[in-house]
Amino acid sequence: MSSPVLKALVAARQKCLTEDEAYWDPKPDFTRPVSARNEAAALSWMLDHQAAVCRGGPADVAELRALCANYCVRLGAATPPEQQAEEQGGEEKATAAAADSEPADAGPDGAVHGTAGEAAVGSGPEAAARGGLTSSSSGRSFGAGSVEEALQRWCTQRGVRGAASPALFGRGGGQRGGGSSSGTAAQPPPPLRGLRADTAVAPGDVVLHVPADLLISYETAKKSDLGKVLSALPLDLSDDSIALIWTCVERHEPEAPHAPFWAALPHSFSTALSASQEDVALLEGTPLHGDAVRARQHLSEAFESSSPAFRSLLGAYPDYFKPEWFSWESYLWAAELWYSYGIQVQFASGDIRTCLAPYLGLMNHHPLPHVVHFSKVDPETGCLRVRAFRPCEAGNQLFLSYGPYSNAKLLLFYGFAVRDNPADEVELVLQVPPGAAATDRRALLAAGLSLEHRLRAGGRLAPPLLSCARLLAAPPPLLKQWRRMPPAEVKAAVAAPIDAESEAVAMGLLGDAIEALLRPARDCAARLRSQEVGKEAREGFAAAVGGEEQTAVGPGTELRRFARVYVDGLVRVLEDALAAVRRGPISPRSNAA
């Protein structure tokens, strides 16, 4: 018989189920983990309600803590990520990093800064998941005089409390981003900046308290002197436009209230938004390529629409404002900052605002995090309460989760990708076959089915995807019959195969749609491999003649590394889905995360 704590876990899993998780399995087995996100949310909820969950006293508390401690193992990890030799996930937001010989007080140019917050630690926190990174179990402290030490001191003075300190993790001992296996020695990755547990962390411990008045929101920008000037201009600037322009200026102001925060940020980001045209072109043939082109075009148009404000400020205050503050590069930096570090925070008033969270932004992302709930201001303390749901040994890196994001989203907005990302998925949009029955098919789809679906690794075919394919493959006479039925009965009719012939047609439609994505994705993967082989050949030749290939670890290098992780994952998802289609659909229970 299940214990009261296990029964509470089953109820918590059900309570924390999202629409996305229900998409993959409409009737999950709540007696086992549904997904990494769901399990983390369920355990966090139980810790928040420990008094009600653990009514049996110390024995129940011990059982709950054991469940929290075994979280990673239940989700399939041999050891927790902070103890693994090869880091599969958290990494920092932006650029290059200190070499092994460099001191740990090198500052923002001496440590890799990734992008990410539950909007993404690329959004909020500092480091972001990077596939294949070396993760030292004990971080190295930053020295006196470093921007990290200054940030910690300033945050402490402003009321930040907790048991976590900035540190460098890893010593560049392995490849990142899906490096080639040709045997040529690749340039090791730099260390990553993150937050280290100062003392042993137990389930339920609060590792950080961040005062709400330390947060930087759009309201912060609007209420500033510059924000008031911008709001008064007859340009109808949006809140986010005002925030970006304010950021372009505030980061250069030495007397700014948040000056230590600005100083500790990376000087550049490595997202697909700021990648070179050449690097973006490497992604051609993938869904991310189109997303990146559209996002970059949107930012370019936003920059142009803000140009009148730039001219007004430069004309009115020529002795203060500098033209380079309003350059495209400066504007893009500000946009990437808010995309990758911004988190959605619910304040005590109930308002939800996009915020930059100093210090919390240093914490890196991992699919198996220590923290998942960190974006609500506690009305009693007036702070963001960053609470761990699983233990962490002293000296190890603390991780949070930006959310269950695909590698495409992580690379576009946060500048990294996660090898074997459990949340990785590919959008699949089906098409209504032409012909006389097209009108009936569209009418039935409008009754509750969608043409837009998703694929994941492992041959996971979501029930709504199969239902849609069956409707698109159904014979016209059956469509006429279905149009006279209530939508619920139609959904029930396509939840299972109609007949062998129609099922074969449905699987054929799915196979064609998947192959249309797979062919260009394979071409892209081959192109990236070819580029790596050429680079390794140049490095090998340089070594043979006693020279050294001069390759910098910069934003472009980082994006190309993670492009391989993204594209390899894309091909894997599509190949798994195609194999599943060819052998017939998998039952929903086999699809469970």
Where are the extended beta strands (E) located within 456-591? none
Is the same domain home to 149 and 195?
Answer: yes
Is the same domain home to 526 and 553?
Answer: yes
Is the same domain home to 447 and 376?
Answer: no
Tally of structural domains, the chain: 3
Is the same domain home to 255 and 282?
Answer: yes
* The predicted structure's pLDDT at residue 137: 56
Query: Can you give the CATH number for the domain in which 86 is found?
Result: 3.90.1410.10
Is the same domain home to 94 and 69?
Answer: no
Q: Where is the domain boundary, 59, 76, 93?
A: 76
Six-digit token string for 383: 């702070």
Residues contacting residue 466 through CB under 8 Å, at least 6 positions apart = 494, 506, 585
Q: How many CA atoms lie within 13 A of 237 on its CB side?
A: 28
* The predicted structure's pLDDT at residue 533: 64
- Domain range spanning residue 53? 4-76
Q: How many helices (H) and strands (E) does the chain have?
A: 21, 16
Amino acid at 362: L
CA distance 565 to 546: 32
Is the same domain home to 24 and 121?
Answer: no
CA distance 91 to 114: 6
* The predicted structure's pLDDT at residue 83: 86
- Sign of dihedral through CA atoms 489, 491, 496, 498? positive
Is the same domain home to 215 and 148?
Answer: yes
- Sign of dihedral through CA atoms 255, 258, 264, 268? negative
Q: Where is the domain boundary, 17, 44, 76?
A: 76
Question: Residue-wise over 360-372: b if at least 16 C-beta within 10 A, else e?
Answer: bbbbbbbbbbbbb
Query: Can you give the CATH number for the domain in which 508 is found?
Result: 3.90.1420
Is the same domain home to 345 and 448?
Answer: no
Q: What is the largest CA-CA distance in the chain?
A: 79
Q: Which helix (H) or strand (E) holds 53?
A: helix 50-53
Residues contacting residue 211 through CB under 8 Å, at least 6 positions apart = 158, 159, 160, 382, 383
* The predicted structure's pLDDT at residue 553: 39
Instruction: Chunk the chain into consecutive blocks of 10 residues (it has 593) and report each block's average pLDDT, rounded to whole numbers.
Output: 92 97 95 97 97 94 98 92 60 33 39 34 35 52 94 97 93 32 47 94 97 97 97 95 98 95 93 94 97 97 97 96 97 97 94 96 95 93 96 96 96 94 96 93 91 95 96 96 94 95 96 98 95 60 43 58 95 97 62 42
Strand-strand pairing, 364-365 and 397-400: parallel
**Burial class, 232, CB count within 10 angstroms (exposed 0-12 / middle 13-18 / buried 19+):** exposed
The CB density around residue 62, as the number of other CB atoms within 10 Å, is 13
* The predicted structure's pLDDT at residue 126: 42
Residue whose pair of structure tokens reads 């007859």 in the numeric block: 234
* The predicted structure's pLDDT at residue 1: 55
CA distance 303 to 526: 35
Is the same domain home to 127 and 221?
Answer: yes
Kindly state the DSSP code that residue 570 receives in the 8-state scheme.
H
Q: Where is the domain boundary, 369, 389, 424?
A: 424
* The predicted structure's pLDDT at residue 371: 96
Residue whose pair of structure tokens reads 């042993």 in the numeric block: 200
Is the same domain home to 111 and 54?
Answer: no
* The predicted structure's pLDDT at residue 547: 46
Question: Residue-wise over 86-105: b if at least 16 C-beta within 10 A, else e?
Answer: bbbbbbbbbbbbbeeeeebb
Cα distances (Å, whole numbers) of residue 58 to 262, 458, 520: 46, 40, 57
Q: Is 58 left (phi over 0), alpha (psi -120 to 50) or beta?
A: alpha
> Long-range contacts of range 23-31, CB-CB < 8 Å, 24 or more positions apart?
23/454, 23/462, 23/464, 24/456, 24/460, 24/462, 24/588, 24/591, 24/592, 24/593, 25/463, 25/588, 25/589, 25/591, 25/592, 25/593, 26/463, 26/588, 27/588, 28/592, 29/589, 29/592
- At residue 540, the 3 state secondary structure works out as helix
Is the same domain home to 291 and 219?
Answer: yes
Is the same domain home to 419 and 430?
Answer: no
Q: Which helix (H) or strand (E) holds 140?
A: strand 140-141
